């Protein structure tokens, strides 16, 4: 598979600040003259965003763990075909909020489907596409998940209070946040196991300090690992 650009993924538990840090890093890279695509999973394409709504809406009931994993990969296969691979072919830097490590951590460990199934499906559905670098934002599970829950509750309330038309158009995104503490502990362990298995690709970044401190750590990491971000 051709690779003229760079593929960088952000991973971590809900509420670790991935999307904020992705945005800040994109700004730094653009200022340094790179062409950057910012995207996310599940989602990233029109079809993927529809799948996202099904996956994250707390009104989705009775979805089996295997169906959940299949939908994550359906969204991803479309995302690679429509967005990620064309951008890499075009020499761009792709910054992606979550990728297959999320499936390994959440469905593989959290839902107990195991890593082997995830890695097999990744070969089939994703042509085994691997990120050049994965930034794993690390903070205390209870703290980050609590933060995500508060944020999503605020967003749901806002949508509920706005016109009914808007509210019905946007699903809430609370389904995963409703999982138990034990589920997130398994997800956390899953991430640590991936980082241990693939130290060349996955770099854990301490995200427990201020946003500015974490941002500095991420920019330093990119300069060190990929020589990106220099002005
Ligand atoms: P995201 O929007 O990144 O949530 P947050 O901003 O709170 O971190 O991701 C949505 C949810 O989808 C998140 O709870 C993790 C879950 N998820 C999986 O379970 N498996 C996957 O493969 C992906 C991509 C996400």
Using a 6 Å cutoff on CB, does residue 11 contact ligand 1? no
Using a 6 Å cutoff on CB, does residue 191 contact ligand 1? no
| Claim: this prediction has a pTM higher than 0.85 | yes
Using a 6 Å cutoff on CB, does residue 72 contact ligand 1? yes
Ligand 1 mutation pick, 14, 15, 96, max ligand atoms within 8 A of CB: 14
Give the mean pLDDT of 151-170: 62
17 pLDDT above the threshold of 60: yes
Give pLDDT tens digits for 59-81: 999 999 999 999 999 999 999 99
Strand-strand pairing, 6-12 and 133-138? parallel
Reported as a pLDDT band with limits 50, 70 and 90, residue 160 is low
pLDDT of residue 162: 61
Give pLDDT tens digits for 169-204: 456 888 998 899 999 999 999 999 999 999 999 999
The dihedral region occupied by 148, where left means phi > 0, alpha psi between -120 and 50, and beta the remainder, is alpha
Strand-strand pairing, 202-206 and 133-138? parallel
Q: Which helix (H) or strand (E) covers residue 134, if one does?
A: strand 133-138
Give pLDDT tens digits for 36-46: 999 999 999 99
Question: Helix or strand or coil: residue 12?
Answer: strand
């Amino acid at each position: 598979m051709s690779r003229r650009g760079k593929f960088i993924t952000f991973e971590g538990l809900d509420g670790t600040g991935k999307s904020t840090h992705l945005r800040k890093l994109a700004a730094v890279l653009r200022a340094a003259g790179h062409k950057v695509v910012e995207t996310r999973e599940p989602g990233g394409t029109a079809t993927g965003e529809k799948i996202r709504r099904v996956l994250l809406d707390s009104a989705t009931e009775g979805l089996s763990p295997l169906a959940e994993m299949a939908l994550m990969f359906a969204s991803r296969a479309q995302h690679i075909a429509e967005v990620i691979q064309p951008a890499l072919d075009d020499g761009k830097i792709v910054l992606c909020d979550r990728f297959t490590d999320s499936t390994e951590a959440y469905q593989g460990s959290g839902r107990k489907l195991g890593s082997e199934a995830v890695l097999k499906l990744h070969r089939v559905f994703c042509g085994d596409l691997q990120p050049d670098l994965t930034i794993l934002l690390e903070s205390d599970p209870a703290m980050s998940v609590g933060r995500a829950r508060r944020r999503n509750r605020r967003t749901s309330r806002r949508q509920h209070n706005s016109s009914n038309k808007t509210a019905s158009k946007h699903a809430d995104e609370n389904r995963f946040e409703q999982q138990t503490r034990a589920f997130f502990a398994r997800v956390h362990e899953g991430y640590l196991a991936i980082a241990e298995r693939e130290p060349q690709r996955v770099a854990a970044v301490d995200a427990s300090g201020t946003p500015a401190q974490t941002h500095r750590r991420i920019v330093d990491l990119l300069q060190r690992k990929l020589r990106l971000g220099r002005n």
